[in-house]
Amino acid sequence: MDTLAATACVLIIGNEILSGKTQDANLQFLGAELADKGITLVEARVVRDDKAAIVAAVNECRAAYTYVFTTGGIGPTHDDITAECIAAAFGRDIVLHEEAVQRLRRRGLELNAARLKMAHVPEGASLIDNPLSGAPGFRMENVFVMAGIPAVARGMFSTLDEELSGGAPIHSRNVDVYLPEGELAAPLETIVHKYPQVEIGSYPFFRERRYGANLVVRGTDADLVDSVLKEIIATMTKLGAETA
Amino acid sequence: MDTLAATACVLIIGNEILSGKTQDANLQFLGAELADKGITLVEARVVRDDKAAIVAAVNECRAAYTYVFTTGGIGPTHDDITAECIAAAFGRDIVLHEEAVQRLRRRGLELNAARLKMAHVPEGASLIDNPLSGAPGFRMENVFVMAGIPAVARGMFSTLDEELSGGAPIHSRNVDVYLPEGELAAPLETIVHKYPQVEIGSYPFFRERRYGANLVVRGTDADLVDSVLKEIIATMTKLGAETA
C-alpha cells in the first residue's frame, strides 16, 4: 500500500442505502473508473443523513486519502444536507454560487427556495458540471461532491478527467479455475509470494454443480500481470483443473 | 438517533468490491433484515484485504455500535484474512475450533492446511452455522463474521435470530409522487417538522419523461407511519400531483 500513487475514499450518503430500500449503484462504477486512472479506491463508507456522522467521515477521509468522492444528498429536499455538512467539515460558510444559479435558471424552472438550495456551496468551492440535468455538484479542495442518482453521478464524474491525477492505470486479468478453493489455495499462495508487485485475489463460485474460483491478477505492469496469469493457468492446468 | 434500541455497522471486507470487479450484494439485504428486527444499520464500510485497515475498522465499529456484521475473507486462500484480523482486534490468539473441524470433515473433503484455516477462529469465539456449505462463520462478542458469497451470508444471517435483540420493527411505507422535488420540498418539509417521530426521505426519479420522487416514511409506530403517508398523499394531491 505504501507505493500507491494516489488513493481515494468514496462516501455514500443516504439513509436509503442503509435501510435496504435502495441498492447502491455508484461504488462499483467509481472503483473501476478510479482504477483506470491509476487511483486506488482504499475505502468506502455509507453514512446516514446525519450531520455529525457526515462531518466526521468527511474530515477523517479527506485527511487520509488523496481524493474523497461523495454521492447523495445534494437535492432540494429537507434530507439533502451534504453541502451544509461539507461546509461545516471545512469550517466555511455556505454561500449562494452565482454560476450555479445561472445553470439552474437555464433549466427554465421557477427558482424557489428549495431549488436555490441546490445553488448553495461551501465558500471557496468550485462547481462540478452536471451534463444531465444542470444542477451542479461541487469540489472543495480534495473532496468531490456528486449526486446520488447513478446516471447523474456518472455524468459528473466524467467531467473530472483534468482534475484527477493518478499513477499508471491498474490492469486486471482473471481466469475461472474449476477447482475448489481448498485445493488451489496452496499452489496459488506460492505464486502470490513470488510476485509481490501484483495483487492476486481468489473469488469462489459454485456454478453448474461445480466448485471453482475466479482468480484475479491486478497491477500497473500489464506484461507482468499477463505473465502471472499465464503462470497461474499453467499451474492449475497441471493440477488437472479446467480453466476458462 | 438517541432513541435507537439497537444499532449496527456492516463491514464489507474485500478488494474486489473496491476495485469494481464485484457488485456488493449483501448490504441491501442486511439493511432490510436488520430493520425488520428493529436494529438500525447506522453505517457500513468497505475495506481492503489489509490487516491494519480491518483491525482498525473492527475496533472502531464494535465500540460504537451494538452489533457489527462482517462479510468476506473467511475462505481458505491467502487473501482470506478476516479471522486473524478479528483475533488481532480483540487481542486474542487464533485457535483451531474442534466443532468447526468436525463440520468441515462432514463435507467429505480432504482436510489440508488451506481447508483447516477455515476452522481457525479467535479464542473464545462461537460458531455461526452455515446451512449451505458447512464451513462456519463465527461470533466474537458483538462481532458476527460471515461469508462474502451472498447466498452463504444470507444463510448464516438466518441462523442468528436468537442472538440478536432489537427494538420494535421499523415499518416503512412509500409513495411515488409525480412532482419535481423542487416543488414538493417545501410542503414536505412542513410535514417533516410536524412528525419528528418518523423519518421521511425523498428519492427523486425521472421516469417516462416525468420528474417525481419516491417519498418514504419510516418508524416503529405502524399506525403513525400510515397516517403520515396519508397526509403526504393528501398534500401532494392538493398540489395537483399524481401519486402512485
DSSP B105-130: HTTT----HHHHHTTEEETT-EEE--
pLDDT for the residue B206: 86
The alpha carbon torsion through B47, B49, B55, B59 (nearest 10 deg) reads 30
pLDDT for the residue B73: 97
Three-state SS string across A32-67, please? HHHHHCCCEEEEEEEECCCHHHHHHHHHHHHHHCCE
CB nearest to B15's CB, from A32, A33, A201 = A201
Dihedrals phi, psi of A191, to nearest 5 degrees: -70, -40
Kindly state whether A239 is in contact with chain B, defined as any CB-CB distance less than 8 angstroms.
Answer: no
Q: To the nearest whole number, what is the mean pLDDT of chain B?
A: 95
> What are the tens digits of pLDDT across the range B164-222?
999 899 999 999 999 999 999 999 999 999 999 999 999 998 888 899 999 999 999 99
Q: Do B183 and A21 touch (CB under 8 A)?
A: no
Residue B126 binned pLDDT confidence (cut-offs 50, 70, 90)? very high
Q: Contacts of residue A53 in chain B, CB cutoff 8 Å?
A: 42-43
CB contacts under 8 A, A 21-80 vs B, are: 21-24, 27-35, 41-50, 53, 75-79
Q: Is A237 helix (H, G, I), strand (E, B) or coil?
A: helix
Cell of B225: 407511519
Which residue has cell 462547481?
A127
Q: How far apart are CA A36 and CA A167, in angstroms?
A: 9
pLDDT for the residue A2: 43
Give the pairing of strands B171-178 and B137-140. Answer: unpaired
Mean pLDDT of B6-15: 97
Q: Which residues contact B145 (CB under 8 A, 6 or more apart)?
A: B70, B74, B82, B83, B86, B125, B128, B137, B138, B139
CA distance B189 to chain A (A): 6
Contact B47, B11 (CB under 8 A): yes
Identify the architecture of domain B7-163 in CATH. Answer: 3-Layer(aba) Sandwich (3.40)
Q: What percent of chain A is modeled with pLDDT above 90?
A: 91
Mean pLDDT of B79-93: 98
Q: Which residues contact B83 (CB under 8 A, 6 or more apart)?
A: B74, B94, B117, B120, B121, B122, B138, B145
Q: In chain B, which residue's Cα lies nearest the Cα of A135? A: B182
Assess whether pLDDT exceeds 60 at residue A1: no
B73: left (phi over 0), alpha (psi -120 to 50) or beta: left
Nearest CA-CA partner of B62 in B123, B9, B4: B9
CA distance A62 to chain B (A): 16
For chain A, the domains span 7-163, 171-243
CB contacts under 8 A, A 113-172 vs B, are: 113-115, 117-118, 133, 149, 170, 172
Contact A147, A130 (CB under 8 A): yes
Q: How far apart are CA B138 and CA B125, in angstroms?
A: 6
Q: How far apart are CA B203 and CA B106, in angstroms?
A: 48
pLDDT for the residue A134: 84
- DSSP letters, A151-219, are HHHHHHHHT-GGG---SSPPEEEEEEEES-HHHHHHHHHHHHHH-TTSEEEEEEEEETTEEEEEEEEEE
Mean pLDDT of A139-165: 96
H or E element at residue B224: helix B222-238
Assess whether pLDDT exceeds 90 at residue B2: no
Cell of A191: 505464486
Q: In chain B, which residue's Cα lies nearest the Cα of A52? A: B1
Q: Do B112 and A182 touch (CB under 8 A)?
A: yes
pLDDT for the residue B1: 42
Q: Do A19 and B42 touch (CB under 8 A)?
A: no
Which amino acid is residue A148, in one-letter code?
G
CB nearest to B201's CB, from A16, A44, A184 = A16
Q: Testing the interface with B: which of A28, A29, A216 to mutate, by most B Cβ within 10 A?
A: A28
Q: What pTM was estimated for this model as a whole?
A: 0.95
Q: To the nearest whole number, what is the mean pLDDT of chain A?
A: 95
Assess whether pLDDT exceeds 60 at residue A190: yes
Assess whether pLDDT exceeds 90 at residue A4: no
Residue B133 binned pLDDT confidence (cut-offs 50, 70, 90)? confident
Residue A3 binned pLDDT confidence (cut-offs 50, 70, 90)? low
Query: Using alpha carbons only, what angle is made at residue A94 by residues A88 and A137, rounded to the nearest 5 degrees?
Result: 95
Report how far Cα A145 is from the mean position of its chain's Cα atoms.
12
Measured in Å, how far apart are chain A's first and last C-alpha atoms?
A: 30
Q: Do A199 and B15 touch (CB under 8 A)?
A: yes
Mean pLDDT of A215-219: 97
Mean pLDDT of A166-172: 92
Mean pLDDT of B71-88: 97
Residue B109 binned pLDDT confidence (cut-offs 50, 70, 90)? confident
Topology given in CATH for the domain delimited by B171-243: Alpha-Beta Plaits (3.30.70)
> What are the tens digits of pLDDT across the range B63-77?
999 999 999 999 999
Dihedrals phi, psi of B100, to nearest 5 degrees: -65, -40
Q: Contacts of residue B232 in chain A, CB cutoff 8 Å?
A: none
pLDDT for the residue B3: 58
> What are the tens digits of pLDDT across the range A64-110?
999 999 999 999 999 999 999 999 999 999 999 999 999 999 988 88
Q: Do B213 and A78 touch (CB under 8 A)?
A: no
Q: Do A19 and B170 touch (CB under 8 A)?
A: yes
Cell of B144: 458476527
Q: Testing the interface with A: which of B79, B110, B132, B173 to mutate, by most A Cβ within 10 A?
A: B79
Assess whether pLDDT exceeds 80 at residue B145: yes
Measured in Å, how far apart are chain B's first and last C-alpha atoms?
A: 30
Mean pLDDT of A154-182: 95
